[in-house]
């Protein structure tokens, strides 16, 4: 007589249990794989930050040692002149000139210490992105809070030391369609793969954040607009080739009049243009206008400008039509009243 478990034949029940165990094991294996990749990535970043802090400390220590030697030499000269009463005005003049020469490196050293403090603060902010409150749980990247802190630090460095940096917003194209057709689990998998791809394309000093939904923001210190455009294009090409999904990008370089909100707004405007021009492309905001990357040839550029001028004229014509509409309605109403009378 065949045994039954919960109303199901024992062989069938055992097969179901084994199948469930297999899928659970695969799911846990994927989660472990993601966690291990995240841990390796964060360890690499931590080592890079520790190395930079060590270099800052070594440079300050070397300059302090050199300066201390100069002070000791100066002290010996003063002692020698004090013991020799025959030293004249000429020797004292030489000593004063030497004191002035020492003052210049003292000022430079003071500025360097202040610079080192700002750099240490910036690296400390990067270290803070490792904490759970600054990490996106799905992708393991930094979150919006970490982005705000990093932007504040970079703008402080830009204002004090004229640091150049750029920002890039990357957006997964047709992501809602992926969720609708394949489900949210598949959408989450796509986001994790895109996040991993972006993180593998950046330098150790760059900050990668999940901005919200399917959007990612990359902060690139010491990077001009051209360099940021090249990075965004590299990510776009890699996503299309390796993941079979497309991304659009908007790029902007921080300028003198920028603050965090305006820089993000300019990059977002470039992204909006990329979305409106067919997706799977990169646009950048120069501070004056939005341009595609790479730039088209002169004929294509003239055609694009002509098209945009035509659209602008259509908008203005529509605006004039709307402005004159109340007057035409009033005239038509008057004609109807006359005909009625």
* Containing structural domain, residue 67: 1-78+102-123
In this prediction, residue 2 carries a pLDDT of 47
What is the pLDDT at residue 260?
95
Q: Does 73 share its domain with 144?
A: no
CATH number of the domain encompassing residue 177 = 3.30.70.270
Domain match, 165 and 258 both = yes
Residue 134: inside a domain, yes or no?
yes
Co-location of 6 and 56 in the same domain: yes
The active-site residue out of 55, 98, 204, 214 is: 214
User: What is the model's pLDDT at position 318?
Assistant: 77
Active site residue 152: no
Give the pLDDT confidence score for residue 32 in this predicted structure: 44
Task: Say if strands 282-285 and 247-253 run parallel, antiparallel, or are unpaired.
Answer: parallel
Is the domain of 57 the same as that of 149? no
Residue 96 covered by a domain = no
Q: Is residue 168 part of a domain?
A: yes
Q: Residue 151 and residue 165: Cα distance in Å, rounded?
A: 10
Q: Quick count: other Cβ atoms within 10 Å of Cβ 210? A: 25
Instruction: Answer whether residue 282 is part of any domain.
Output: yes
Count CA within 13 A, CB hemisphere, residue 96: 6
Rounded-to-integer distance, Cα 236 and Cα 318, Å: 37
Q: Are residues 163 and 36 in the same domain?
A: no
Spatial distance between the Cα atoms of 130 and 39, rounded to a whole number of angstroms: 10
> Exposed, middle or buried by CB within 10 Å (0-12, 13-18, 19+), for 111?
exposed
Domain membership flag for residue 302: no
How many structural domains does the chain have?
A: 3
Contacts of 28 (CB under 8 A, 6+ apart): none
Digitized pLDDT (tens) for each residue of the chain, 341 residues in all: 445 544 555 555 565 566 666 555 555 554 445 555 555 666 666 666 666 666 766 676 666 666 666 666 666 666 666 555 555 556 666 666 666 666 566 656 656 665 665 666 565 555 555 555 788 989 989 999 889 989 998 998 888 888 899 999 999 999 999 999 999 999 999 999 999 999 999 988 899 999 989 999 999 999 999 999 999 999 999 999 999 999 999 999 999 999 999 999 999 999 999 999 999 999 999 999 999 999 877 676 667 667 767 777 877 777 777 776 666 656 666 666 655 55
| DSSP β-ladder status, 4-5 and 290-293 | unpaired
Both 187 and 261 in a single domain? yes
280 and 150 in one domain?
A: yes
pLDDT score, position 67: 62
| 74 is a domain residue | yes
Report the predicted TM-score, pTM, of the whole model to 2 decimal places.
0.59
Q: 142 with 281, same domain?
A: yes
Give residue 254's pLDDT: 96
**Does 18 share its domain with 65?**
yes
Whether residue 199 sits in one domain with residue 58: no
């Amino acid at each position: 007589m065949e045994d039954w478990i919960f109303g199901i034949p024992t062989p069938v029940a055992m097969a179901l249990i084994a199948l469930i165990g297999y899928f659970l094991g695969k799911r846990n294996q994927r989660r472990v794989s993601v966690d291990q990749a995240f841990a390796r990535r964060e360890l690499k970043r931590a080592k890079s930050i520790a190395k930079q802090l060590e270099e800052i400390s070594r440079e300050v220590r070397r300059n302090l040692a050199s300066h201390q030697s100069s002070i000791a030499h100066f002290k010996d000269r003063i002692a020698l002149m004090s013991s020799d009463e025959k030293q004249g005005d000429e020797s004292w003049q030489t000593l004063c000139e030497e004191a002035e020469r020492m003052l210049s490196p003292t000022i430079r050293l003071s500025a360097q210490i202040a610079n080192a403090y700002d750099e240490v603060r910036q690296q400390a902010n990067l270290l803070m992105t490792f904490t759970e409150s600054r990490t996106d749980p799905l992708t393991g990247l930094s979150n919006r809070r970490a982005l705000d802190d990093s932007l504040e630090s970079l703008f402080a460095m830009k204002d004090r030391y004229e640091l150049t940096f750029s920002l890039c917003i990357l957006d997964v194209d047709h992501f809602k369609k992926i969720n609708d057709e394949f489900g949210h689990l598949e959408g989450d998998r796509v986001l994790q793969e895109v996040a991993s791809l972006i993180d593998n394309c950046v330098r150790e000093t760059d900050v990668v954040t999940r901005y919200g939904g399917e959007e990612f923001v990359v902060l690139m210190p010491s990077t001009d607009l051209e360099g940021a455009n090249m990075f965004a294009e590299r990510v776009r090409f890699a996503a299309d080739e390796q993941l079979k999904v497309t991304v659009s990008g908007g790029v902007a370089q921080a300028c003198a009049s920028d603050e965090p909100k305006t820089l993000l707004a300019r990059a977002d405007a470039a992204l909006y243009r990329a979305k409106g021009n067919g997706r799977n492309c990169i646009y950048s905001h120069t501070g004056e206008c939005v341009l595609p990357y790479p730039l088209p040839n002169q004929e294509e550029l003239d055609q694009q400008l002509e098209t945009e001028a035509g659209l602008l004229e259509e908008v203005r014509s529509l605006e004039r039509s709307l402005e004159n509409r109340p007057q035409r309605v009033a005239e038509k109403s008057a004609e109807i009243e006359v005909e009625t009378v």
